Structure 1
């Protein structure tokens, strides 16, 4: 029988045949290294998306609300960063950051919505 070695530290693995790591420490270290954002652009973009998401979530606790452009901007919201766009059959365009969305209204107001799948 062939001895398997830990994907992280290369030590021999004892235990189940499908085991890939010798310990939780090695499993975590391996996955942290694998999932580390490879460069600053990706890391910074993800951080700004998370900030946008937190702002929308904070302003929209009940899944539907209204706010102003100045309120969003004062909290640091970046209108250039969204994850997707949803267009209704009538042609209304919602902008989303994950499941939190907004719809531009008149007079710099925004309807905030949460998509429920």
Structure 2
């Protein structure tokens, strides 16, 4: 039985478990499989990435305070986060990957970084 490349269907020569004829075909095949084929997923990932960058830029020391106004001026969207952590005292931290925030009084936020 003759095996063919999964990307270009060329005849494979070499190892019996070989799947691709070249690195180019291997990369092209995997890029096609792993691309974000849905705009929704791509847009959400872009929004999370932007929120993470904003938090990382604002929180240079690992723990700092800022205002809602400053975050929204940078384009932060409070609807997008990756996880929620609730403390024993009931405080709710919202995280975008390792960057998090806790809503305080008077439109202030405590920014933290999870180690």
Query: Normalized against structure 2, the TM-score is what?
Result: 0.88
Residues 70-106 of structure 1: CA distance to partner in whole angstroms, max 9, x if unpaired? 1100000000011110111221110011111101111
Deviation of 1:58 after TM superposition, in Å, equals: 1.1
RMSD: 1.5
Following the alignment from structure 2 to structure 1, what is the Cα–Cα distance between the partners of residues 96 and 34?
A: 21
Partner of 1:64: 63
Residues 1:25 and 2:20 aligned together: no
Aligned match of 1:6 = 5
| Cα deviation, residue 12, structure 1 | 2.5
CA distance in 2, matches of 1:72, 1:15: 56
Identify unmatched segments of 5+ residues in structure 1.
Answer: none
When residues 87 and 22 of structure 1 are mapped into structure 2, their CA distance, relative to the original with a 3 A threshold, is same
Quote the residue 1:113 is aligned against: 112
When the two structures are aligned, how many residues end up with a matched partner?
Answer: 115
SS at 2:106's partner residue?
helix
In structure 2, relative to structure 1, the CA distance for the partners of 1:54 and 1:15 (3 Å cut) is: farther
Shift of 1:16: 3.7
SS in 2 for 1:73: helix
Q: Which ranges in structure 2 are unaligned for 5 or more consecutive residues?
A: none
